Amino acid sequence: MKKISIKGNINFESENKQLNENNLFSLRITDSLYKKDIGKFLEILSSNFI
């Protein structure tokens, strides 16, 4: 049997926190893109039908 060693400290809480921050960041970008699209759509509607 061979010995398996891991170099460095594994901090799962830190990795999990980074993943959560990345997910929130991507959600913010997606949300802002949707808001821009909705704004453009409403602008087109208002300019054509008013």
pTM over 0.85: no
pLDDT at site 45: 86
The two tokens of residue 46 are 């208002």
Where residue 33 falls among pLDDT bands split at 50, 70, 90? confident
What does the pLDDT look like over 19-31, one tens digit per residue? 778 777 788 888 8
